Amino acid sequence: MKTFFHLKQEVIEPGLCHRCGGCVSLCTAVNYGALELDADGRPRYRDPDRCIECGLCHAACPENPELEAETRQRLAWSAPVGRVLSVRVARALDPQVRQKATDGGVVTALLLHLLDTGHIDGAIVARPKGSFRREPHLAVSREEILEAAGFHFDTTQSMAGLGREYSHRHGLELVSPHVLKGLRRVALVGTPCQIHAFRRMETLGVVPSESVTLCLGLFCSGNFAFGEEQRARLAEAGGFSWDDVVKINVKETFRVHLRSGEIRALDLQVLDGLKHHACRYCEDYAAEVADVSFGGISAPEGWTSVVTRTPKGRAAFVDALGRTLEEHDRTGQPDLADRVLEQLMGAAAAKRRQAQAFRNRLTPGASQRR
Ligand SMILES: Cc1cc2nc3c(=O)[nH]c(=O)nc-3n(C[C@H](O)[C@H](O)[C@H](O)COP(=O)(O)OP(=O)(O)OC[C@H]3O[C@@H](n4cnc5c(N)ncnc54)[C@H](O)[C@@H]3O)c2cc1C
């Protein structure tokens, strides 16, 4: 009898769960909800007797290599960073959006445009919950999309939970007919692992993947957990106090924005010990199978680097230009897009190399994706 856990244990090294929630989303959407997420965002049995042993949960796992080739082929993936139709640097026209955003607010401004023009009915985003926490949310209004932009935090509170700002836990559990309630055109914002899990659902052709019309992927060097001790070490390394921090961001460096307007840039290595275990094995930096991918890398401060990958993604982005988005003036820096691509390829190659080195240390037969 192949149950979810049998399959998982056969192929997937324990600890490599990316906590994307794809398996639970599928089980709830297609079957009887045998699985659930534990408090840490890892899947477990809610009730094994509800399991119909279809194996779909396993098939959709981004750690399972079985559907990788078919998924890549379907999306015209090509080395080294997936399909690239265009590389742009852009930002939101609305300064209010920019102010709330992580980088240039392009993700938020694009979602607002798509909602305003009726191209989407909603978007799966990560909204703030309390001062420091985020939770996946199906936003169906401008206000809800705006609320989920960038990240908020209130420095009058303790920093406990800041790590969740960069958490990619269980966003996919919202890709379920029960939550989508008949919505047919939803945009999904997610980290590479979430986008991979969703694309597998699409490859399998299982409900509710047809409800998602656009995948917006975030570049990702990893997801971090900030314990009290680690926060203290970061503050010491960066010579700042968390009380003065208004925003953190990850680009080429770990950037700490202070109340004074100063930005402290720390080498990304300071975050190594804070990375979620599974992220060490993840080979996708550039959200390679999204319709459009976004990051701050190589873009000037306050701008977002944008890679369009599918005609659908490119059309959505171009349609928003001049309405909610503006492109960086190319006259001053004509090679900006080339530099973004070059740096993106460098970061992607470094992440892949590191992941492969970690994978090589696994026991023989353990998960080897590529
Ligand atoms: C875990 C993580 C690691 C990252 N690492 C890098 C990196 O190494 N290099 C780099 O260049 N960029 C990285 N990014 C992407 C970068 O932080 C910005 O999200 C991106 O540049 C878009 O900026 P923006 O201002 O256009 O987006 P915004 O307009 O601020 O919108 C961001 C959108 O992403 C959603 N969101 C935020 N966090 C999550 C999450 N955890 N899961 C799903 N959706 C979420 C928000 O709800 C919002 O809709 C990372 C993002 C995350 C979440």
pLDDT at 157: 28
Reduced to 3 states, what is the DSSP secondary structure of residue 329?
A: coil
Mutate to test the pocket of ligand 1, among 147, 218, 285 (most ligand atoms within 8 A of CB): 218
- How many C-beta atoms lie closer than 10 Å to residue 301's C-beta? 12
- How many C-beta atoms lie closer than 10 Å to residue 228's C-beta? 10
Ligand 1 atom with least separation from CA of 108: 29
CA dist 124 and 213 (Å) reads: 11
pLDDT at 16: 79
CA dist 125 and 107 (Å) reads: 10
Six-digit token pair at 92? 């939101």
> Based on the number of CB atoms within 10 Å of its own CB, is 207 exposed (0-12), middle (13-18) or buried (19 or more)?
middle
Say yes or no to pLDDT of 237 above 50.
Answer: yes
Strands (DSSP E) contained in the chain are 35-37, 43-45, 86-92, 122-129, 133-139, 186-190, 212-218, 245-250, 254-258, 263-266, 292-295, 304-308, 325-327
Average pLDDT of span 302-311: 98
pLDDT at 164: 35
* Amino acid letter, residue 166: Y
Ligand 1 atom with least separation from CA of 189: 44
pLDDT at 363: 63
Return all residues near 126 (Cβ < 8 A) that are at least 6 apart. 134, 135, 136, 137, 148, 171, 189
Ligand 1 atom with least separation from CA of 109: 29
When mean pLDDT is compared across 55-64, 97-106, 188-197, 311-320, the lowest value belongs to: 55-64
Ligand 1 atom with least separation from CA of 103: 25
pLDDT at 5: 57
218: CA distance to ligand 1 center in Å? 5
CA dist 271 and 248 (Å) reads: 12
Please state, rounded to an integer, the average pLDDT across all residues of the chain. 84
If you take atom 9 of ligand 1, which residue's CA is the nearest one? 251
Say yes or no to pLDDT of 8 above 60.
Answer: no
Measured on CA atoms in the order 69, 74, 76, 82, is the torsion positive or negative? negative
CA dist 177 and 186 (Å) reads: 12
pLDDT at 1: 46
How many helices (H) and strands (E) would you count in the chain?
Answer: 12, 13
Higher pLDDT, 225 or 145: 145
pLDDT at 154: 32
Higher pLDDT, 160 or 325: 325
Q: What is the pLDDT of residues 105-156, one digit of tens each?
A: 999 999 999 999 999 999 999 887 654 567 788 999 999 999 999 854 332 2
Q: Is 294 in the pocket of ligand 1 (CB under 6 A)?
A: yes
Most confidently modeled range among 44-53, 66-75, 237-246, 318-327: 318-327
165: CA distance to ligand 1 center in Å? 9
Contact 29, 175 (CB under 8 A): yes
Say yes or no to pLDDT of 370 above 50.
Answer: no
Q: Is 150 in the pocket of ligand 1 (CB under 6 A)?
A: yes
Closest CA to 89 of 268, 263, 341, 350: 341
64: CA distance to ligand 1 center in Å? 25
99: CA distance to ligand 1 center in Å? 15
Reduced to 3 states, what is the DSSP secondary structure of residue 249?
A: strand
Q: What is the pLDDT of residues 31-84, one digit of tens each?
A: 888 888 887 778 888 898 998 888 888 888 888 888 899 999 999 999 999 999
Say yes or no to pLDDT of 333 above 90.
Answer: no
pLDDT at 60: 80
Confidence of residue 166 (pLDDT cuts 50, 70, 90): very low
pLDDT at 165: 36
Contact 232, 238 (CB under 8 A): no
Determine which helix (DSSP H) or strand (DSSP E) holds 237, and give its type and residue range. Answer: helix 228-238
pLDDT at 26: 79
Reduced to 3 states, what is the DSSP secondary structure of residue 358?
A: helix
pLDDT at 336: 94
Mutate to test the pocket of ligand 1, among 132, 215, 219, 341 (most ligand atoms within 8 A of CB): 219
53: CA distance to ligand 1 center in Å? 35
Mutate to test the pocket of ligand 1, among 20, 94, 102, 283 (most ligand atoms within 8 A of CB): 102
Say yes or no to pLDDT of 205 above 90.
Answer: no
- Residue indicated by tokens 């836990």: 169
Q: Which CATH architecture has domain 80-194+210-224+275-360?
A: 3-Layer(aba) Sandwich (3.40)
Six-digit token pair at 370? 């590529």
Contact 248, 258 (CB under 8 A): no
191: CA distance to ligand 1 center in Å? 8
313: CA distance to ligand 1 center in Å? 17
pLDDT at 159: 26
Say yes or no to pLDDT of 262 above 90.
Answer: yes
Backbone torsions φ then ψ of 240, nearest 5 degrees = -135, 165
Beta-bridge mates of residue 189: 216
176: CA distance to ligand 1 center in Å? 23
Average pLDDT of span 272-299: 92
Higher pLDDT, 192 or 26: 192
Higher pLDDT, 168 or 368: 368
Q: What is the pLDDT of residues 168-187, one digit of tens each?
A: 444 566 666 666 677 889 99
